[in-house]
A and B are shown apart, each in its own frame.
Chain A
Amino acid sequence: MKLFREFLDHIKKLFHSRQDTILVQREDENLKLDELKYFAVVQFEHANFRSAKELQNKIREIVREAILSSHVQFILFPAGMNLELYSTSQDSLSDNQISRMSDECLKVFSNVASAEKVFIAYADLVRGKKIFHILNSNGKVIVEDPMIVMGIKITFFESSGDIDLFLAPSFTKKWIGDYESFAHAWLYSQQECVYTMEAYMVGDHYTGQSGIYAPIEATDALNGIIKQAQSKNFGEILIAELDFSKIKEARSKNSEYDRLFANK
């Protein structure tokens, strides 16, 4: 028994020392937290997790990978993250059970956001309806929409306002043609002059192709694609540095048309 306790203490110490290392590492990187520019989209590979803790470990592993490979400050996960805690379909669960699991999922993301000091956005899927969540780097829920994070206007909802970044946590996608890469989010970037981030749940019977998009003029290859997942079935992390001045420049070219819609 004593040996077992010692073993547990040793494991705990190891875990804490690893955590400290990562936090120190972030400080050493001199990350400018007054400027938001490093973003990640997680194409999440579906797996039914046995517990919230297991899900948290997985989320944290992904977030750490994103932070260590770049200076990621904002991470988007797909829709349906709450479903990762179910072993059965929602039809067999009561509203209370679904609500409890969504709360548990929120707690998982909140813990990771505060531990790793990143903004995290994702969506639950409750009886087919998306419930959006965004957490600040202290793990607190942001309720405003559009939300302004370090001067960047971010929203989950389609609107013609002066938005800089549109978030599209998505679930799964049905493929019908060869041009499916020109996703809704890509088109939204072209028509509204905004950056868009789209994250899909993949694996098992889910498919999708996550991406980070911009207006054509704001991309070097003139294709409107900053990053796009290589696979439609496997998990990936897409990381990009976004320059919001490019969006403002592209948008200003159409400002002559503003008066047409002034009274609308």
Chain B
Amino acid sequence: MLKIYMGPILASTEFTKFDLGVTSDPSLSVIGRWMRIMKEGAVFDDSGFIAAQRRWRVPVTLEEVVLSMPNLKMAALYNSELRMGRLLRSLKDMKIDLVTGYLRSESYNPYELIASGWGCAQTTGVPTIVVNITPETVCYSLFLKMDEVSDGMISLAERYTMVSVPVEKKEYTQKK
């Protein structure tokens, strides 16, 4: 299991020992590994150094949406990409471990959030974290592929939270 903190960097001090932080904060944190999902794009930082990034634009190649780090392959998608069946099926073929998404909405719409996050998790088969930004608030959500006992909606629209997702850690945390 991969322990993921989702929320503002400042509030992360409430939690200890997580493998990955997902935030919409533009400021850098020199401690830990962070996926910063911002208005312009997604940036993966490792101890304050930028390791991989993607700008929000129509990608030239499919590889552009995948941020590959040692032992973790993460797709970064934005808005309608999270609901693009063809794109999501291609990502499934690329054997990614996790999807992080940026969803900007005019107002909070759970249907849009579920279609984007839950739908993405069902099609790619991997955990999907969505940072949903509205004019009023920023919410973090986690969705998993549904199975016989769970509908796959683990954490829907939290301001900050810690979750454990079924991603094989490989050597990812051991190197930390």
Contacts and interface: CB of A to CB of B under 8 A. Distances in A.
Interface residues of A, number: 24
A256 interface: yes
Interface stretch (A57-65, A70-78, A216-224, A237-245): A216-224
Given A177-B150, A178-B151, A191-B123, A264 B90 contact: yes
B88 interface: yes
Contact of B88 (A180, A191, A223): A191
Nearest to B115: A190
B153 A187 contact: no
Contacts of A182: 114-115, 118
Given A176-B148, A179-B151, A160 B86 contact: yes
B32 interface: no
A256 B85 contact: no
Nearest to A258: B86
A40 B47 CA distance: 58
B86 A190 contact: no
21 contacts: A160-B85, A176-B146, A176-B148, A176-B150, A177-B146, A177-B153, A178-B153, A179-B153, A182-B115, A190-B119, A191-B83, A191-B123, A216-B109, A216-B111, A216-B115, A222-B109, A225-B111, A256-B58, A257-B58, A260-B86, A264-B86
Interface in B112-156: 112, 114-115, 118-119, 122-123, 146, 148-153
B111 A261 contact: no
B128 to A, nearest CB: 13
Contacts of A94: none
Chain B interface bracket (under 10, 10 to 19, 20 to 34, 35 or more): 20 to 34
Contacts of A69: none
B58 A191 contact: no
B154 to A, nearest CB: 11
A224 B119 contact: no
Contacts of A224: 111, 115
A36 B81 CA distance: 31
Nearest to B58: A256
A256 B62 CA distance: 13
Interface in A124-165: 160
Interface of A: 160, 176-180, 182, 187-188, 190-192, 216, 222-225, 253-254, 256-257, 260-261, 264
A216 B107 CA distance: 14
Contacts of A222: 109, 111-112
B66 to A, nearest CB: 13
Interface string B145-170: 01011111100000000000000000
B84 interface: yes
Contact of B119 (A191, A257, A260, A261): A191
B145 to A, nearest CB: 12
A188 B86 CA distance: 11
A253 B150 contact: no
Given A176-B150, A222-B111, 8 more contacts: A177-B152, A187-B115, A191-B123, A192-B85, A254-B84, A257-B86, A260-B59, A261-B86
B148 A191 contact: no
Contacts of B71: none
A179 B114 contact: yes
Nearest to B149: A176
B122 A187 contact: yes
Contacts of A216: 109, 111-112, 115
A59 B151 CA distance: 35
B90 A261 contact: yes
A253 B81 CA distance: 11
B87 interface: yes
Nearest to B111: A223
A260 B115 contact: no
A232 to B, nearest CB: 16
Contact of A190 (B58, B83, B146, B151): B83
A121 to B, nearest CB: 22
B80 interface: yes
Nearest to A179: B151
